[in-house]
Amino acid sequence: MDTTESRESTERAGLTVRAELTERARALAARGGRRILGIAGPPGAGKSTLAERLAADLGPSLAVVVPMDGFHLAGAELVRLGRADRKGAPDTFDAAGYAALLSRLREADGSTVYAPAFDRTIEEPVAGSIPVAPSVPLVITEGNYLLHDAGEWARVRPLLDEVWYLAPDDVRRVARLVDRHVRHGKDPAHARAWVARSDEANARLVAGGRERADLVLDIG
């Protein structure tokens, strides 16, 4: 098989997997009431990309994405706590606030819920950015620590109807991480050092929750 045929075969396989995942998410949304699908995995695994693609395939009347990253502590608070140099670790998020939002989303009490987002251009959370209408049956939430079982994070998993764990090729994942940090302002040497010291320490921690997922996706 030549390179073109190999690439086309890979693309067809990717489209098939995407269609299967979309139908699984659609079936979850059809169970009745408000359902929450979690997408977990290490930094750079492609969680936000998959979440956004699923939401696009399902349409806004069926699904909305609420990222865990909206619960990053603000930069000034990380400085005050002495944690700015390891931003992205579990204790640099408001885990209790995230769990409280998930609980409120599950209730679907007839009111619109406003969730925070994370703006990578300023590297800060922004409150009230994502409206979740009461008519939307599926919330897709994604983040590193959905399966983490320490402290307040242990409250998260019971609030999720399903969790999918992304297990990418680590070489490609690290390369994507470095590229992402460079695109958001770090020089290449600083980006590589940050990934090796901070992101990969978090990745090892995240991997410990893999067995608590409902579905493990080995991806490239």
Place of tokens 């997408």: 39
Higher pLDDT pick, 12 / 75:
75
The CA-atom distances, in angstroms, between 126 and each of 23, 63, 87, 100, 117 are 31, 21, 16, 17, 5
Higher pLDDT pick, 1 / 210:
210
Question: Which range among 22-26, 45-49, 161-165 shows the weakest confidence by mean pLDDT?
Answer: 45-49
Position 218 pLDDT exceeds 60: yes
- Specify whether the CB–CB gap between 105 and 66 falls below 8 A: yes
3-state secondary structure at position 141? strand
Kindly indicate the confidence band of residue 15, based on its pLDDT and cuts at 50, 70 and 90: low
The CA-atom distances, in angstroms, between 56 and each of 25, 31, 88, 99, 177 are 12, 20, 27, 25, 24
Position 175 pLDDT exceeds 90: no
Position 141 pLDDT exceeds 50: yes
pLDDT, average across residues 121-140? 95
Looking at every residue in the chain, the average pLDDT score rounds to 90
The CATH number of whichever domain residue 100 belongs to comes to 3.40.50.300
Position 126 pLDDT exceeds 50: yes
Kindly indicate the confidence band of residue 2, based on its pLDDT and cuts at 50, 70 and 90: low
Neighbours of 59 (CB within 10 A): 9
Which domain range does residue 198 map to?
A: 3-219
Query: Based on the structure, what is the number of domains in the chain?
Result: 1
Question: Which range among 22-26, 88-92, 154-158, 195-199 shows the weakest confidence by mean pLDDT?
Answer: 195-199
Higher pLDDT pick, 220 / 158:
158
